[in-house]
C-alpha cells in the first residue's frame, strides 16, 4: 500500500478496522501524516473514523 501511496496511485484508503492496517501507534501516525501530505483520505468502515 505504501508503494502505491508514494507513487501517487491511490485516491483513498479503506479498511474495516484500523487495527488491521497498523503495527504500532507510532507507525500509524507516520502513515497518516504521509497520507495527509498527499491528500489521500482514510475511511474506517466499522469504527466511524474518517481522516
Q: Is the pTM here over 0.95, yes or no?
A: no
pLDDT score of 29: 85
Report DSSP state, residue 45.
T
pLDDT score of 40: 94
Contact in structure between 4 and 35 (CB atoms under 8 Å): no
Positive or negative: CA dihedral 10, 12, 16, 18: positive
pLDDT score of 51: 56
End-to-end CA distance of the chain: 17
Q: Following DSSP, what letter does each residue of 15-27 receive, concatenated? A: ES-GGGS-S-HHH
pLDDT score of 31: 87
Residue 39's SS3 state is coil
pLDDT in tens, 1-51: 889 999 999 999 988 877 655 567 788 888 889 999 999 998 888 866 555
Amino acid at each position: 500500500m505504501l508503494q502505491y501511496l508514494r507513487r501517487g496511485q491511490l485516491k483513498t484508503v479503506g479498511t474495516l478496522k484500523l487495527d488491521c492496517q497498523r503495527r504500532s501507534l507510532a507507525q500509524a501516525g507516520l502513515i497518516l501524516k504521509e497520507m495527509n501530505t498527499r491528500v489521500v483520505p482514510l475511511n474506517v468502515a466499522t469504527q466511524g473514523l474518517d481522516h
